[in-house]
Chains A and B, each alone.
Chain A
Amino acid sequence: MSDEPTTLREAIEQAIAENEVLLFMKGTPEQPMCGFSARAVGALQALQAPFAAVDVLPDPRIRQELSAVSNWPTIPQLFVRGELVGGSDIILEMLESGELAKTLGVEQPEGLGTPEPAQPAPAPPMSIENRLG
């Protein structure tokens, strides 16, 4: 088990280190509070990729500290295996090109376009490896 983080920044760094796929967003995956966050959730759901999410809205310091840690000014921010992948523009570009599936270690569904924000993803065409399992 890891030590208790003593500061907000340490808590953020620990969350990034401990979650293989982590999305910092406005709102929750069930109820995104911003269109960009909704599109990021939609991209991950379209790939049936398991992910953890942190809502930055409850405390403005989360966003400040996160941007200081990541050197990235906007929300959402997707981290995979401790590395910043990007914000919603990059996430969507990578979804369409198949790079996101590759980064996440999942199969790219056939005929995948830009997903509707935060719609439940269709059933996968075949079983998909759950990397967090």
Chain B
Amino acid sequence: MVSPEELKDRIENGLPGARANVTGDGRHFQAEVVSPEFIGRSRLEQHRMVYAVFGSELGDRIHALSLKTKTPEQP
């Protein structure tokens, strides 16, 4: 079973300087991720960066991950 804490740790370890807030029920998760690495990148690229942390686990072991990404400057 995947825990929100596992996803939080992996996002924060996988993206330099990232802070993640993750909730979920073991299959469907919602993550809010703030990272300076997002600066200057489109929302599409920001989401790709988070998805890349999990690779093929997405849609499989992690059934669904809903994302909201922000740079540290964004409210």
What is the interface size of chain B, counting residues whose CB is below 8 A from a CB of the partner? 14
Shortest C-beta distance, B54 to chain A (Å), equals 8
Number of A-B residue pairs, CB cutoff 8 Å, is 32
Q: Is the CB of A86 within 8 A of B64?
A: no
Chain A contact residue count (CB 8 A cutoff)? 14
Mark contacts of A54-73 with chain B using CB atoms, 8 A cut-off: 1 yes-contact digit, 0 otherwise: 00000000000000000111
Within residues 11 to 69 of chain A, which ones have a CB less than 8 A from any CB in chain B? Answer: 36
Q: Which residue of B has the minimal Cβ distance to A75?
A: B59
A90 touches B47 (CB 8 A): yes
Interchain CB contact under 8 A, B51 and A74: yes
13 contacts between A and B (CB under 8 A): A36-B66, A72-B51, A73-B56, A73-B58, A73-B59, A74-B58, A74-B64, A86-B43, A86-B44, A86-B47, A89-B66, A89-B68, A90-B47
